[in-house]
Amino acid sequence: MNYVRKKLPLQGDGEVVILTGAGISAESGLKTFRDSDGLWEGYDIEEVATPEGWLLNPALVQDFYNMRRKSVLEAEPNAAHYALARLEEKYKVTIITQNIDDLHERAGSTNVVHLHGIITRSQSSKKPTLTYPINGWELKMGELCQLGSQLRPHVVWFGEMVPMIETAAEICSKADLFILVGSSLVVYPASGLVNYVPVDVPKYIIDPKIPTVYGVPDIIKIEEKATVGVPRLVDELMAL
């Protein structure tokens, strides 16, 4: 199947912008709450992924993310991650990811914007911009930042501001090619980023269940899982 249906206005210095969601990490074995009716591996999202949950039971939240971090460190990048990294051999590539894992980086991608933080770092409970790398999978209660506050996961919880959203919108506005991979487009404000991409820019969506995108014409839909659709599209883009 030929996914590139026409000659793209894309040169070697073209800006390729890719927005990735839970679907690409799920193929590496990382579970998500994408279709879990408010539950994440048996936990109520309100208990483990909100500021209120942290205030109510920080030890529970810490343990939950320690287990997620352990799973991330045990997981490996898949064919879709590696294919996206390969695009850098020819194009200027920026990956904007909704995922909190580091699989894009481990696959070789060098320009990754994490909208919702990254689980392999901690942050101050007082000052979110004060972050630290985590050695291993466990962040313990009693580990403090330099301001004396408890360290928490460097993850944007529901109800918190998304500090990188304006940067991501600016990146999308300069795209020469836009690819959406493995996102259901239900998490706001990330779901609105496609609307910042110029109207005349080619846009691809790769997902077994193509989400509905309102007000964006001429989307090329690749109804495949990421490990199938992404390598095929990348092969065609590399051959241009």
Query: Beta 15-20 vs 177-181: how paired, if at all?
Result: parallel
In the numeric block, the tokens 């695009």 are attached to: 87
The separation between the first and the last C-alpha atoms of the chain, rounded to the nearest angstrom, is: 16
Catalytic residue numbers?
116
Task: Calculate the alpha carbon distances from 190 to 11, 87, 204 in Å.
Answer: 27, 23, 16
- Buried b / exposed e over 107-142, threshold 16 CB at 10 Å, is bebeebbbbbbbbbbbbbbeeeebbeebeebebeee
CA–CA distance, 20 with 36 (Å, rounded to integer): 19
CA–CA distance, 93 with 23 (Å, rounded to integer): 20
